[in-house]
Structure 1
């Protein structure tokens, strides 16, 4: 008996038990956990809106890293019970110190004994039954606490058990990744290097030393059962779920978000007031004066036109005004009262118009490269302000159209028809001028994206969609600095599980606060077969990263061109470019 008390004192189990006696009890599990967190003065930092990512019903497995070996088993149910009540947790027996939570836990011991093995099998069976009944199960698939090793000095989970994959597969469960940004003490990490059992022995102490800490948690987006890559084997899928969880390590803290917001506010204070609208009547007068052939397409009340600057001084003023207003909303913009420059005078303006509401939807700026270079040289091209290239490069890509300064005003951005009418307009313009076969220009990555996201996008593009030949002829004026820095994750996993631009987009949507993934225009260009040529930072556009991208329409899939050009338009284009008919459909 004396020996047990001595061991409990050494391992500080006695202190955990004393603390439990002092914590105010409650029949409500969530309330008891709140009392426990308050007793230890533990604050939780997470984005409240991301609680909406948690499924409110149906079989769901929550996977998380295992940095503490105890406290996370209290924190996760506290958050999850605010969304749904049918929560169970596969937890470490150290939490038996809190008997008020017994109904919540299915205990899984990290010990290699026969008794632990038998108990773990029973707990796993109960977990299966719970999921099959439609419940939510919280799992720490590492099976042991995050730690350093002699081979790797980053605190992280070891490889995850593939038993979690069998649970998901057999119960058709969705998966929600969650990530803890904190870790156990340095003493704990050092002790584990001496012997793994020392880590286990120190778990009660680590439970106690979380007092007065702020623990930060990131909640990932739901990975639906249908999107889990079951073509992989169970070990690879477990690695994928671990990867998705550790990608959340890139999530910015609330402090970083607040700092970025303050910078944005300060930047906006320095910006000029956007110029006023000149009046709808002036716009309609100019619109009605355009030749009929400059109306390129119409879909219900959405119309698309092209015009020259001299034809539309007031419409161009409205385009410049709305450009600036739209770009500022995403951390870009010139900061001037209107976004118009010298290039607008010799470029063509393609714009979409709502004929019912009598207002602008969005616009593109188009430059006929061969004409501009013949009249003004390569410096007559807007892209030449961002990248250095000469006529040798131009000869490789002409006949080409430079696209840029595209925008869709915010009220229309959720309507797919807005972007569609603009792209059908560009396609119909090419049908009218079929000698042009190449589109090129810049696509922006706002500076409001985190550095990690910007570098992740650039790195993906350089690996998968980069034109090494053409890039030799182009140099950025201000090349991006730095490189992608992964937090707490092996770089090899990044390139194993990110193979498509949609994979990049899904990753970014998980941890970026303001963005739902990769910029929509970049995704669109890449799906047209676009190739990136280079990247530049634009100091006149709030330090946005501009990617110089090129789309050779002769290599775009036939079905895609027919969708935008129509069958007759595609046939006309193909007659000028016979090789385009040989593309894979």
Structure 2
């Protein structure tokens, strides 16, 4: 009996499902372009290799396929392996491999898979559903979604958060940095008495990705068209080695949350972006 095909990218099937009334009007050359842009064939080859794997094992398979590696600076700042109830907070420069590297790294350290708060669209990645905790970044959170996040923070498993919720963009002066961080990780860490472990992932996407984002912003378009580029960015990372900087533990006793949460989230963000200099 063959193993179950966990995940396969099929642009035609997605368009038929999402746009049933308009699919027949979409030019074939546009569909072909989209398949090439997201590297459909190569992505499916990578996913086929990871068929049947879940969680950290799936992440390791993807990293190995792409010959992507990482080293850890400030590893002495990691909590004891049996101290699971912490919140890992990190910048989000890549849009895919950074998250997979963190899942693999934290699982290897603690011996238990973390929960990872992510955009609800990523729940389509079935091998990571037991790790992912969905959040609606484009509207109001459902009661079920809110309960899922609360359950994750109440658990005894590590929690990973990208507080920006979106991939880093290029700002003034050409600096690559996250957009505004959301404060929820502060309030939830305070509520469930979780210390915070700040991390900085040293990486960036291609210039094309950032230029697409800038062009969209100049045109006043709200839909993040540059996200279509992210699968190609994954493939462009082949053979790269990244560095993950780990900072000193931030005791939850130093945080208040509530009215102070925005300021405290900003303070943690500054700590994260200073890690590359300090370690």
Same fold per TM (> 0.5)? yes
Are the counterparts in 1 of residues 117 and 133 from structure 2 also a CA contact under 8 Å? yes
- Retained in 2: the 8 A contact 1:146–1:156? yes
CA drift at 1:107:
2.9
Which of 214, 224, 236 pairs up with 1:209?
Answer: 236
Q: Which has the higher contact order (CA 8 A, sep 6+)?
A: 2
Find 1:163's aligned residue among 181, 184, 201. Answer: 184
Tell me: CA distance 1:219–1:39, structure 2 relative to 1, closer, same or farther (3 Å).
Answer: same
Is 1:194 the counterpart of 2:215? The answer is yes
Q: Partner residue of 1:59? A: 85
- Following superposition, which runs of at least 4 residues in structure 1 exceed 6 angstroms of deviation? none
Counterpart for residue 181 of structure 1: 202
**Greater Cα radius of gyration, structure 1 or 2:** 1
Aligned partner (choices 39, 58, 61) of residue 65 of structure 2: 39
Could you tell me whether the CA contact under 8 Å between 1:69 and 1:92 is conserved in 2?
A: no
Contact 1:54–1:176 (Cα < 8 Å) also in 2: no
C-alpha distance 105-16 of structure 1, shift in aligned 2 (>3 A): farther
Given the superposition, is the C-alpha separation of residues 225 and 48 from structure 1 closer, same or farther in structure 2, using an over 3 Å criterion? closer
Distance in 2 between residues matched to 1:210 and 1:7, nearest whole Å: 21
Distance 1:235 1:36 in 2: 36
Which of the residues 21, 24, 29 maps onto 2:47?
21
Residue 154 of structure 2, aligned match among 113, 132, 154: 132
Distance 1:233 1:49, change over 3 A: closer
Cα displacement (A) at 1:16: 6.0
Classify 1:227/1:220 alpha carbon distance in 2 versus 1 (closer, same or farther; 3 Å): same
Please give the residue correspondences for 1:265-414 in structure 2 after superposition, counting only pairs within 5 Å. Answer: none
Aligned pair count? 246
Aligned to 1:142: 164
Task: Quote the offset at 1:145 in angstroms.
Answer: 1.1
Instruction: Work out the CA distance in 1 between the residues paired with 2:144 and 2:85.
Output: 20
Shift of 1:74: 0.6
User: Is structure 2 residue 127 aligned with structure 1 residue 106?
Assistant: no
> What does residue 245 of structure 1 align with?
272
1:161-190 residue CA offsets vs partner (Å, 9 max, x unmatched): 112222112111111111111111111111
What SS class does the counterpart of residue 88 from structure 2 fall into?
Answer: strand
Q: What residue is the counterpart of 2:19 in the other structure?
A: none
Query: 1-side partners of 2:77 and 2:51: how far apart?
Result: 26
Deviation at 1:232, TM superposition (A): 6.8
Q: CA deviation at 1:214?
A: 0.8
Partner of 1:233: 260
Match of 1:82 among 108, 126, 131: 108
Q: TM-score, normalised by structure 1?
A: 0.39
Which whole-Å deviations, capped at 9, do the CAs of 1:426-448 have from their partners, x for residues lacking one? xxxxxxxxxxxxxxxxxxxxxxx
TM-score, normalization by structure 2 = 0.77
CA distance in 2, matches of 1:27, 1:51: 30
| Residue of structure 2 in register with 1:69 after alignment | 95
The verdict on how the C-alpha distance between 1:245 and 1:55 changes in structure 2, with shifts beyond 3 A counting, is farther
Q: Deviations over 1:293-322 (max 9, x none)?
A: xxxxxxxxxxxxxxxxxxxxxxxxxxxxxx
- Aligned residues of 1:148 and 1:189 also touching (Cα < 8 A): yes
5+ residue gaps, structure 1: 252-510, 512-585
Q: Secondary structure at the match of 2:174?
A: coil
Q: CA deviation at 1:191?
A: 1.2
- Aligned partner of 1:526 in structure 2 is none
